[in-house]
């Protein structure tokens, strides 16, 4: 602060002095046209760009081969950073969460190490992947081998996944899970929460287990809905309400917003699911909700 004030003070003095000594004007600037420094090298695959002269620089005259999307899919060894392997690996994440996810265990795709894809006649397309998966709550990482089969043909069938991870079940969450389960079963009023996370990305610590449970339940939907042309994440829990416990399973009704990256759409789903430490998360009902476009009228702005 002191330095600032000194600077300001000396600035004031200089300005006053400058005025008195009659120093005026700004240095003149000559703009010398320089050689075009746009860096262009001929790239073997490049297409010459039509310049502004034609006035149509928004369009390129390019011979685009008429390829179906299937032909454009890579076969054989895949680049692990490119989208085909990444999308297939995300499906593995959803599968692992449906099988092993809990309020205290949540899995996230961390990296794809290698991948391979091949067409399986009359079946679909099979991906073989080596991935690393992160347990998000305990922050541990482990490697998994997985196979994903995206079915082709009549009807909407979900991908089939097989995965083996080195030590997924070794982390013991039993004590925490039992405590939470007891809390859910015995609390006086049924729990309920909205907007997890909120607009600022915030989740109350007490609500985090509900958020985790919703992600696990959503993973069942995301697994079912996944194709080679989708990439799903759960964006937000709009609403989650606890219902009466049934057969020793705590029960929840939730409204989740899924983000589908390729279309950039937010898709609303309603889920009914149960949980207990021995049974894990079981989704009883899932229903896609139509999103009301008419609802998005502008608020009263001034």
From candidates 113, 197, 227, 280, binder to other proteins by CB under 8 A: 197
Smallest distance from the beta carbon of 284 to other proteins, in angstroms? 26
From candidates 21, 22, 24, 34, binder to other proteins by CB under 8 A: 34
Smallest distance from the beta carbon of 184 to other proteins, in angstroms? 24
Task: State the Cα angle at 300 between 297 and 302, rounded to 5°.
Answer: 135
From candidates 116, 128, 176, 195, binder to other proteins by CB under 8 A: 195
Count the residues of the shown chain that bind other proteins, applying the rule CB under 8 A: 75
**Residue positions counted in the chain:** 302
Stretch that binds other proteins, among 27-35, 118-126, 160-168, 274-282 (CB under 8 A): 27-35
245 CB-near residues (< 8 Å, 6+ apart): 184, 185, 251
Helices 208-225 and 83-100: crossing angle in degrees, nearest 10, is 130
From candidates 263, 287, 288, 289, binder to other proteins by CB under 8 A: 263
Stretch that binds other proteins, among 28-36, 152-160, 164-172, 179-187 (CB under 8 A): 28-36
- What does the alpha-carbon distance between residue 275 and residue 245 come to, in Å, rounded to a whole number? 10
Smallest distance from the beta carbon of 60 to other proteins, in angstroms? 6
37 binds other proteins, rule: CB under 8 A? yes
Q: Choose between 62 and 244: whose C-beta lies nearer to other proteins.
A: 62
Q: Choose between 121 and 294: whose C-beta lies nearer to other proteins.
A: 294
Smallest distance from the beta carbon of 37 to other proteins, in angstroms? 6
- What does the alpha-carbon distance between residue 235 and residue 260 come to, in Å, rounded to a whole number? 9
Smallest distance from the beta carbon of 71 to other proteins, in angstroms? 12
Spatial CA neighbour of 231 closest among 199, 204, 207, 263 = 263
Smallest distance from the beta carbon of 299 to other proteins, in angstroms? 5
Q: Choose between 244 and 295: whose C-beta lies nearer to other proteins.
A: 295
The radius of gyration of the chain from alpha carbons, rounded to an integer in Å, stands at 29
98 binds other proteins, rule: CB under 8 A? no
Q: Choose between 234 and 250: whose C-beta lies nearer to other proteins.
A: 234
From candidates 175, 183, 243, 266, binder to other proteins by CB under 8 A: 266
User: Footprint of other proteins on residues 99-138 (CB under 8 A)?
Assistant: 108-109, 111, 136
Smallest distance from the beta carbon of 49 to other proteins, in angstroms? 6
192 binds other proteins, rule: CB under 8 A? no
Smallest distance from the beta carbon of 19 to other proteins, in angstroms? 6
């Amino acid at each position: 602060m002191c330095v600032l004030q000194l600077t300001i003070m000396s600035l004031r003095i200089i300005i006053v002095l400058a005025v008195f000594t009659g120093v005026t004007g700004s240095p003149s600037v000559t703009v010398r046209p320089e050689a075009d420094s746009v860096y262009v090298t001929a790239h073997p695959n490049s297409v010459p760009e039509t310049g502004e002269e034609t006035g149509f620089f928004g369009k390129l005259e390019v011979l685009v081969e008429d390829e179906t999307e299937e032909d454009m899919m890579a076969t054989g060894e895949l680049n692990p950073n490119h989208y085909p392997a990444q999308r297939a690996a995300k499906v593995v994440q959803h599968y692992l969460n449906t099988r092993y996810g809990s309020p205290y265990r949540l899995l996230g795709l961390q990296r794809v190490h290698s991948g391979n894809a091949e067409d399986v006649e009359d079946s679909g397309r099979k991906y073989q992947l080596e991935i690393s998966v992160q347990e998000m709550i305990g922050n541990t990482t482990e490697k998994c081998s997985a196979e994903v089969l995206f079915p082709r043909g009549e009807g909407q069938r979900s991908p089939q996944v097989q995965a083996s991870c080195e030590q997924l079940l070794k982390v013991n969450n039993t004590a925490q899970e039992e405590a939470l389960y007891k809390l859910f079963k015995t609390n006086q009023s049924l729990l309920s929460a909205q907007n997890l996370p909120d607009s600022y990305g915030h989740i109350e610590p007490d609500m985090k287990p509900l958020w985790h449970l919703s992600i696990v339940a959503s993973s069942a939907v995301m697994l079912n809905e996944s194709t080679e042309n989708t990439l799903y994440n759960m964006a937000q829990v709009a609403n989650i309400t606890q219902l009466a416990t049934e057969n020793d399973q705590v029960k929840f009704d939730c409204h989740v917003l899924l983000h589908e990256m390729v279309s950039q759409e937010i898709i609303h789903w309603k889920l009914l699911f149960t949980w207990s430490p021995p049974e894990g998360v079981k989704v009883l009902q899932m229903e896609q909700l139509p999103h009301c476009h008419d609802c998005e009228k502008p608020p009263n702005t001034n």
